[in-house]
A and B are shown apart, each in its own frame.
Chain A
């Protein structure tokens, strides 16, 4: 009589092929093990002939389950930012050099019940001229069959701005945001989600380091995010797609489409290429790099007749299209230790806008994010 060395594994594999042996849906449940992660992010952006901002940010994050139904999580990041920020549009001559440290920390505590969870979070971030405190409350509720989960949240952020050039002193910005979301499991392989966020902000929105930058003191934003994740049993992969519709009172309207393919590979490898396309209209007070015939650069035409109006040359408020190509590689080194690497290449061009003309006269803007990290579970 021969004995198969893997009788146990063979029987289990055959049993797992039967329908209904393992749950198809998992409700949000309290984490079962503690976790600590270290990440290192490197960010570089540039325009032709100008290396702009670079950020190097090591961070540590941790999560501990407490008493079975609570979790406590936090992170700490130290950014070192240096580089040149153009004083208007992409003007190199006017670039101001800068170098700064940013410290950011956050803490979240979550209580889990059978079909609901309640969380409170607080975050703190500081630079020598900027300080931000925020608080948030979030709750989730699942239906009896756990196929539907609703989420509601409210957050409040208080920012203090004290620029070194003393253009303004002790300025503030206060933002309140609301989240309403629903996640629906359609089939064991399909999950869809809709999240609506509305934010209302009051205070100082201008860039104190740009020469002509005067923005409204209120900004109301709304964003609708739609997601659909589909799992393919056969190649062992998931497709994550998303569409985001955004609009705000600066009159920036944006559409963002993204897709990520997460492919499981043998020996603990996962590879996930991604693509994201973004297109937006310009803020109503963004002005093109066409300057006043009398005053010259950087003054927008008509500045003399309306010096108290709103103006900004910030390229993030221009009309453009942008494409991000990314790849993330994860390797499960042991059952409890994961290493990951992520590269994202971002490019923003006026000519890539869809649904209207892009803002003329701006050089292509490129950015590169590299992140490496390890996560260990206990």
Chain B
């Protein structure tokens, strides 16, 4: 994984903990290899290579991830679209350049979940050049799977943290919560808050992961599949939910929904913390941890 990966197991001696951690990391690697869009021998690589050509037969795990992607597409009114990765061909964040309308249109013509065809176990992208990408939830899926594996192996205290998206499977051995730092969206080496997590998951999406700035405007890597342009509004959205994949998907959908996400989060039933356009921090009730003084709810502790 192209991110910091931390498996913490606090209730076993070092040898046993290392052995479990090994199994958890093996599971994370398995998922990375199977669904990497950079590997031609991965499932995603095979589907993308066969775009516009023959259907590809999928196993149960892949089909359930496809079903999940479909559910997210529906829930997000089409904003969460795993075929939108081709927009990166138009947006090169290293070159810090705004693409032409023609470039964006060309990329947009290859986006559309509606053109991902499914027939039993066979799946197919309708047009050559189209691509799917599980990157929008693959990391969180891996964190959940690894945490489940550790729970099944009897671990009761610890967490799996993949680049800030984390699933905890139990408190610290003394029963207290894990305090998890939330990346400051503008200061690379600082946290903006620390949240207490005992069990369940926490995930953050933000405009700071890959971006460029031009004429005072920030262009981030989260792209709206309808317009082909980067989303604006939130600097970051953190969601706490029972599963890392649910927390990560909700935080990404919130980024995609821009200002309308405030209502979505308020009614989501999840706990959340947002950093708004001018840096103001807002959070749901019931968050425990160290919140910045600007947080509009909940006492800072």
A residues lining the B interface (CB < 8 Å): 1-25, 27, 29, 68, 114-115, 142, 144-146
Query: A20 contacts B149, CB within 8 Å?
Result: yes
Kindly identify, within residues 72 to 115 of chain B, every residue whose CB is under 8 Å from any CB belonging to chain A.
Answer: 72, 74-77
Given the known interface contacts A11-B249, A68-B175, A114-B154, the answer about A19 and B61 at a Cβ–Cβ threshold of 8 Å is yes
Other contacts beyond A20-B148, A114-B11: 16, CB < 8 A: A3-B263, A7-B253, A8-B268, A10-B71, A10-B75, A11-B71, A11-B75, A11-B241, A13-B71, A14-B72, A15-B68, A18-B64, A18-B68, A21-B145, A114-B155, A115-B154
Q: Which residues of B contact A2 (CB under 8 A)?
A: 77
Given the known interface contacts A8-B241, A15-B243, the answer about A3 and B260 at a Cβ–Cβ threshold of 8 Å is yes
Complex Cα spacing A305 to B257, Å? 98
Query: A18 contacts B65, CB within 8 Å?
Result: yes
Q: Which residues of B contact A4 (CB under 8 A)?
A: 75, 77, 264
Query: A21 contacts B148, CB within 8 Å?
Result: yes
Question: Chain A's nearest CB lies how many Å from the CB of B194?
Answer: 23
Question: Chain A's nearest CB lies how many Å from the CB of B123?
Answer: 17
Closest to B268 in A: A8
**CB of B46 within 8 A of chain A?**
no
Closest to A116 in B: B154
Query: B152 contacts A19, CB within 8 Å?
Result: no
Complex Cα spacing A2 to B175, Å? 41
Q: Which residues of A contact B75 (CB under 8 A)?
A: 4, 7, 10-11, 14
**CB of B269 within 8 A of chain A?**
yes
Q: Fill in one digit per residue for B40-68: 1 if any A CB lies within 8 Å of its CB, else 0.
A: 00000000000000000000110011011
Residue of A2, A21, A144 with highest tally of chain B CB at under 10 A? A21
Question: Chain A's nearest CB lies how many Å from the CB of B255?
Answer: 13
Complex Cα spacing A68 to B76, Å? 41
Question: Chain B's nearest CB lies how many Å from the CB of A25?
Answer: 6
Query: A8 contacts B68, CB within 8 Å?
Result: no
* Total of A-B residue pairs, C-beta within 8 Å: 107
- Which of B64, B243, B249, B264 has a CB less than 8 Å from the CB of A3? B264
Question: Chain B's nearest CB lies how many Å from the CB of A74?
Answer: 23
Can you identify 5 A-B contacts, CB atoms within 8 angstroms? A4-B77, A15-B68, A18-B68, A20-B144, A23-B152
Q: Which residues of A contact B253 (CB under 8 A)?
A: 7, 11
Kindly identify, within residues 144 to 161 of chain B, every residue whose CB is under 8 Å from any CB belonging to chain A.
Answer: 144-145, 148-149, 151-156
Complex Cα spacing A18 to B263, Å? 27
Q: Which residues of B contact A27 (CB under 8 A)?
A: 154
Complex Cα spacing A219 to B141, Å? 58
**CB of B5 within 8 A of chain A?**
no
Query: B246 contacts A7, CB within 8 Å?
Result: no
**CB of B1 within 8 A of chain A?**
no
Query: B246 contacts A11, CB within 8 Å?
Result: yes
Query: B64 contacts A19, CB within 8 Å?
Result: yes
Query: B149 contacts A1, CB within 8 Å?
Result: no
**CB of B168 within 8 A of chain A?**
no
Complex Cα spacing A146 to B67, Å? 30
Q: Which residues of B contact A145 (CB under 8 A)?
A: 152-154
- Which of B12, B148, B242 has a CB less than 8 Å from the CB of A23? B148
Query: B269 contacts A8, CB within 8 Å?
Result: yes
Q: Which residues of B contact A25 (CB under 8 A)?
A: 152
Q: Which residues of A contact B149 (CB under 8 A)?
A: 20
Complex Cα spacing A142 to B156, Å? 14
**CB of B270 within 8 A of chain A?**
yes
Query: A12 contacts B154, CB within 8 Å?
Result: no
